[in-house]
A and B are shown apart, each in its own frame.
Chain A
């Protein structure tokens, strides 16, 4: 099965390990993520004012690419567009909804995009986690070479996978899609009351200290419930929870670092994929000592 795939800028730069491990995991499950031939940055954040149409052009342009891929037979009658980054997912999906629900704006947007073919409103933006759910967790379990049963994992949703309701991939207050995934990989998923709490997002640029405070609260909550590692699906959550531990440690000497990795990295490990594909060497706080201790890297 071939599905159009939108990477976004961060997966091509600081989160290459997220992309590489996801593509490999998808392949193991018979899914080829076919990158859009020409894509542009979606703008990361959804434009929230009523009169600001111009910022919806970038997301919509990417959706036109999906139509083109179908016309050029790069994919076969496949109008789903998969993202890995939670923020790309949210932004593309919300612009798509606004376009579909708003007849007047539709016309306007299409007329502004002079050089593009019209967007017909027929693309469905999905997150890779939804594709995994559709494939079925029993099929995922079938691929396990190294069950994650020696790891206590906290799953972190953050905001953009869940909220607002109309774009959430799961119940915004009681999600369990990540828990179910990791249980099917054999892991012990710990209780994590702060799993939906915002990490401070883009405030990390203007005010890293207060983002570090949020990171401290969120990760302390995970550790109180005995988590040894945290998984996420967003390069911004990852940056805030992983890299900002540097500031956390300078403020709280008792705080012990905890690795924060992409869900696909641990999936790749469970599937027995090559350790380079898992990409554990590019997280800020390395998960390798933990994985070594638990016997996951024996032959290395």
Chain B
């Protein structure tokens, strides 16, 4: 017997929004955990990549948007090449970040950064961080 989970309208809308922004069919995730097992950043994460997928599926917007993990993902595409369902988690994480960034909630503020750090960091690091962490 198959079991169905009814999502609230709000949860369903959130899932649809992330599916659209990421272009990924999140409902096809089989929760195998290969992404979590492959992720180099897992030690820093509060939600594992597979949990991100499941919670997106369930439309758990608040928990997702306050999680550290969506900012910790380094877009390394290791999970992307290994997912048996060819899902691209880097796109899901980017979609979740974008939901926040588009509300003008930035993750990084250049004015609060250490001067010595700014001088030391190569442009490639600064440009990529500002692309990922600001709207």
Where the two chains meet, the residues of A that have a C-beta atom closer than 8 Å to any C-beta of B are: 8-10, 13-15, 41, 43-52, 55, 85, 87, 159, 162-165, 172-173, 196-198, 200-208, 210, 213-214, 234-236, 239, 243
Contact = CB atoms under 8 A, between A and B. Distances in A.
Nearest to A198: B76
Contact of A163 (B80, B107, B124): B80
A239 to B, nearest CB: 5
A48 B44 contact: no
Contact of B124 (A50, A85, A243): A85
B120 A243 contact: yes
Interface in B104-134: 107-108, 113, 117, 120-129, 131-133
B22 A48 contact: yes
Interface string B30-73: 00000000001101100000000000000000000000000110
B98 A49 contact: yes
**9 A-B pairs with the lowest CB-CB distances in the bound complex, closest first:** A198-B76, A163-B77, A205-B129, A48-B94, A202-B128, A44-B128, A14-B122, A10-B124, A50-B23
A206 B72 CA distance: 9
B123 A10 contact: yes
A195 B72 CA distance: 21
Contacts of B41: 198, 200, 203, 210
26 contacts: A9-B123, A10-B123, A43-B127, A44-B124, A45-B131, A45-B132, A46-B75, A49-B23, A50-B21, A51-B21, A87-B124, A159-B78, A163-B76, A163-B78, A163-B80, A164-B77, A165-B81, A198-B76, A201-B74, A203-B72, A204-B129, A205-B108, A206-B107, A213-B43, A235-B124, A239-B125
A51 B21 CA distance: 7
Contacts of A198: 40-41, 74, 76, 78
B58 to A, nearest CB: 21
Contacts of B132: 45, 202
Given A44-B131, A163-B76, A198-B78, A210 B43 contact: yes
Given A210-B43, A214-B40, A234-B124, 7 more contacts: A43-B131, A50-B23, A51-B20, A55-B131, A201-B128, A205-B117, A205-B126
Given A10-B123, A200-B41, A236-B128, A49 B78 contact: no
A184 to B, nearest CB: 27
A236 to B, nearest CB: 5
A8 B125 CA distance: 12
B39 to A, nearest CB: 9
B124 A206 contact: no
Contact of A201 (B76, B94, B108, B123): B76
A13 B123 contact: yes
| A13, A49, A210 — most chain B CB neighbours (10 Å) | A49
A42 to B, nearest CB: 9
A243 B122 CA distance: 11
B91 interface: yes
A204 B126 CA distance: 9
Contacts of B80: 163-164
